[in-house]
Amino acid sequence: MHYRKSMIMVAGVLITLLLSFGMASADTGKIGYVDSQRIFAESRDFADAQAKFEKDVEEWNVKGEELQSEIEKLEAELESQSLLLSKEKRQEKERLLEAKKEAFQDFVDATFGPEGKAERRNAELVRPIRDKVMRLIERIAIEENYDMILDAGVVSIAYAKKSLDITDIVLEELTKEE
């Protein structure tokens, strides 16, 4: 998420600079673009990373469901036995219920909240793939003498000649490395 916001800001600044300095004309430099969303969608490495991430999320969901089940069981016990329990026993079960609810919320926050386990795990799995794609784009840009390559998957490009799209080239190179 943070990477995407950063890329949007960087691309926006670059486009603004290009337009303000008049560098967008065809005679001043070679410009191309890629569709990073398509690259990731067609990448085997990314699909493998997504499968690993989904497996982790499933395990976390199971753990969350277990915690939720414990809470529901305790709530049912408390409700069905409330008339039979002494005041002290009822208060003890209520404290236990509150502790379990807090533990569940802590688990949810630590796992699925901002900068939680899920976000960190996804970044850990995706970062090497993103870095590989960026290295490929840089290599292609240098080899093919591009002055700039924009990312149509992050920045809205209202119009660009299809001949400027180097997504297929990046995908070919990525496939060779996978």
Q: Encode pLDDT of 79-100 as tens digits.
A: 888 788 888 988 998 999 999 9
Res. 119: pLDDT tops 90: yes
Residues of the chain above pLDDT 70, percent = 84
State residue 157's pLDDT score: 75
For 6-29, letters b (16+ CB in 10 Å) and e give: ebeeebeeebeebeeeeeeeeeee
Q: What are 34's strand-pairing partners?
A: 151
Give the global pTM. 0.68
Mean pLDDT, range 116-131, rounded to an integer? 95
Specify the CATH superfamily of domain 2-177. Skp domain (3.30.910.20)
Element (DSSP H or E) covering residue 105? helix 87-112
SS3 of residue 113 by DSSP: coil
**What is the pLDDT confidence band of residue 158, given thresholds at 50, 70 and 90?**
low
| Per-domain boundaries in the chain | 2-177
State residue 159's pLDDT score: 72
Q: What sign does the dihedral 115-117-119-120 (CA atoms) show?
A: positive
Alpha carbon of 155 to those of 29, 79, 95, 130: distances in Å? 20, 55, 51, 17
- Judge whether 136 and 173 are in contact, CB under 8 Å: yes
Candidate from 19-33, 73-87, 130-144 with smallest mean pLDDT: 19-33
